[in-house]
């Protein structure tokens, strides 16, 4: 197993542990919504501290249910992942294209390989 494979396996193990440990340790047991988002938890804390607090503004769009809100969040995450994957794939493809073009140019400059015509510089 080479170094990159070991690093990738270790990173995968860490990500899996981050996903499974909160569930395995029972974090959030006894709460109405054990894994509510940070916004909901902040709202709850603020209303406990100051029941008369009024927000400065309201959201532009309030989804009709939590399921739709989760679906929109998942869609946003998927679009972001797609953009990042496209960007990194494009960079890798360009780098590979440059390497192939450079290797092809070197072959032509040095006389080519078997079956290739020899091109000499004047």
CA distance 62 to 78: 21
pTM of the model: 0.50
Q: pLDDT (tens digit, 0 to 9) for every residue of the chain, 122 residues total? A: 899 999 999 999 999 999 898 888 877 777 777 667 777 788 888 999 998 988 888 889 888 988 898 899 999 999 999 999 999 999 999 999 999 988 888 777 776 555 555 555 65
Distance set, CA 40 to CA 5, 11, 34, 35, 62 (Å): 39, 30, 11, 10, 14
């Amino acid at each position: 197993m080479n170094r990159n494979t070991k690093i990738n396996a270790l990173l995968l193990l860490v990500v899996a542990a981050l996903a499974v440990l909160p569930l395995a340790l029972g974090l959030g047991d006894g709460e109405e919504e054990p894994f509510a988002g940070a916004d909901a938890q902040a709202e709850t804390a603020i209303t406990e501290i100051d029941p008369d607090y009024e927000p400065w503004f309201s959201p532009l769009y309030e989804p009709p249910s939590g399921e739709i809100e989760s679906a929109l969040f998942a869609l946003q995450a998927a679009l972001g992942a797609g953009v990042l994957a496209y960007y990194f794939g494009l960079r890798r493809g360009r780098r590979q294209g440059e390497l192939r073009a450079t290797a092809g140019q070197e072959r032509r400059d040095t006389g080519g390989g078997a079956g290739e015509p020899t091109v000499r510089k004047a």
